Structure 1
Amino acid sequence: MKHSEYRRLMTDEFGSAYAAVLGNSHVLQVLGNRTADEALADGVKPRDVWVAICDDLQIPEERRLGRDIPIKERRDV
């Protein structure tokens, strides 16, 4: 997963404003008591950060892939 895909998933699930707040303030024990932004800056893979957020906030499996993106939009991501 690329960083851009991680950001898209965060925005899809939480909205742009709350995703930003969550990324820099919610501490994830499984990531060494770091925020998502700190973990990413330290080189943790975006997919691992996304899974940690989903697990911690109990995001249902069916919402972990984000919204469907039309093929044309996918090429621009």
Structure 2
Amino acid sequence: MRLQEFWGQLRSQFGDLRGESIARDHVFSAFEGRTAVGAIEAGVPVRTVWLAICEEFDVPVKAR
């Protein structure tokens, strides 16, 4: 998954504002207390971050 695709999926699932907030403000224990953006910047694969968001926010399997 590319970064551009990640942002598109995030906005598609959650809307522009909520998607941005989830990525930049929500802290994930799976990423040692980092946000999604922080995890990506730390080298976590984008697909792994997307799947963690899906798990945390109960995104339907078909949308993952």
| Pairwise same-fold verdict (TM > 0.5) | yes
- Helix, strand or coil: the match of 2:55? helix
Q: Which runs of 5+ in 2 are unaligned?
A: none
Counterparts of residues 57-68 of structure 1 (less than 5 Å): 57-64=57-64
Superposition RMSD on alpha carbons, in Å?
0.9
Q: CA deviation at 1:5?
A: 0.7
Higher helix share: 2
> CA separation in 1, counterparts of 2:25 and 2:15?
15
Q: Is the 8 A contact 1:27 1:34 kept in 2?
A: yes
Q: Which aligned runs of 4 or more in structure 1 are off by greater than 3 angstroms?
A: none
Q: Is the 8 A contact 1:31 1:52 kept in 2?
A: no
TM-score (norm 2): 0.91
Structure with greater contact order relative to length (CA < 8 Å, sep ≥ 6): 1
> CA separation in 2, counterparts of 1:58 and 1:21?
16
Q: Would you say how many aligned residue pairs link Structure 1 and Structure 2?
A: 64
- Helix, strand or coil: the match of 1:49? helix
In the alignment, which residue of structure 1 is the partner of 2:25? 25
> CA separation in 1, counterparts of 2:23 and 2:56?
13
Q: Is the 8 A contact 1:27 1:35 kept in 2?
A: yes
Q: Which runs of 5+ in 1 are unaligned?
A: 65-77
Larger radius of gyration: 1
